């Protein structure tokens, strides 16, 4: 597939970036090596913690993300993606760093979630993404309400995320994530968004009683479309 080279601002977390790459590979209609998307990936696990920064407890990752964007442009990228939901709170630093087009994960995911025009969408998001209101704002612009976990369940969700980051993809983590998804459905969510890139590592669309929009898959599809020059 002759197309535009993708620069991936990754490492948040590293496993989520590898998962994103695998989904781009799996979702690309290809019959030979040359049909696949050209990815240049900076899988940088040293990016400062996004959640700490948004709580005022750590340095901003913005300057590092900007440096990564510039490095990917120098390496030949023609547009950028960032497979981390919470990092989109610092997207202004990325946009200011280069003149490259940027495929926005939050907007892409919300557009997919709104396909059936739901009124209430349950969103599983990390603490920083929740605090920054990324999905709340994006869904409100589209005329939908974001449903979030209550404080106790949100703390349980964050604990699960850090277990996933540590490599725990076991049955206890999977069942815990499924329970929290069910909490949002019982609260009235017509659609769910896996709004943290670790969630799809333990929760699939066939494991919950409502449509589940995977932010990684949404970004992968948009990346393929952009690489083909169709958007």
Residue 121, burial from CB neighbour count under 10 angstroms (0-12, 13-18, 19+)? buried
Smallest Cα–Cα separation from 69: which of 36, 38, 101?
Answer: 101
What is the enclosing helix (H) or strand (E) of 213?
strand 212-214
Tell me, yes or no, if 129 is annotated catalytic. Answer: no
**Percent helix, percent strand, percent coil in the chain, to nearest 5:** 50, 15, 35
Catalytic residue from among 196, 199, 201, 213:
196
From the number of C-beta atoms within 10 Å of its C-beta (0-12, 13-18, 19+), residue 67 rates as middle
Choice among 8, 39, 84, 105 that is catalytic: 84
Active site residue 110: no
CA dist., res. 100 & res. 70, Å (int): 9
Angle, vertex CA 231, rays to CA 194 and CA 104, nearest 5: 35
Name the residues annotated as catalytic: 84, 196
């Amino acid at each position: 597939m002759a197309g535009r080279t993708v620069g991936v601002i990754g490492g948040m977390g590293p496993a989520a970036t590898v998962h994103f790459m695998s989904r781009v590979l799996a979702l690309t209609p290809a019959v030979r090596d040359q049909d696949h998307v050209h990815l240049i990936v900076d899988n940088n696990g040293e990016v400062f913690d996004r959640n700490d920064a948004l709580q005022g407890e750590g340095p901003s990752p913005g300057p590092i993300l900007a440096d990564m964007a510039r490095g990917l442009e120098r390496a030949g990228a023609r547009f950028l993606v960032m497979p981390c939901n919470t990092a989109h709170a610092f997207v202004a630093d990325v946009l200011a760093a280069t003149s490259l087009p940027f495929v926005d994960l939050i907007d892409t995911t919300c557009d997919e979630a709104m396909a059936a025009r739901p009124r209430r969408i349950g969103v599983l998001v990390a603490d920083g993404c929740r605090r920054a209101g990324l999905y709340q704002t994006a869904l409100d612009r589209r005329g939908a309400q974001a449903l979030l976990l209550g404080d106790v369940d949100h703390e349980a969700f964050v604990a699960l995320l850090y277990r996933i980051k540590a490599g725990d993809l076991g049955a206890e983590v999977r069942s815990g994530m499924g329970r929290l998804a069910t909490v949002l459905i019982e609260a009235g969510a017509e659609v769910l968004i896996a709004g943290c890139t670790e969630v799809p590592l333990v929760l699939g669309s066939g494991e919950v009683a409502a449509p589940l929009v995977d932010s990684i898959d949404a970004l992968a599809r948009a990346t393929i479309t952009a690489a083909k020059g169709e958007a």
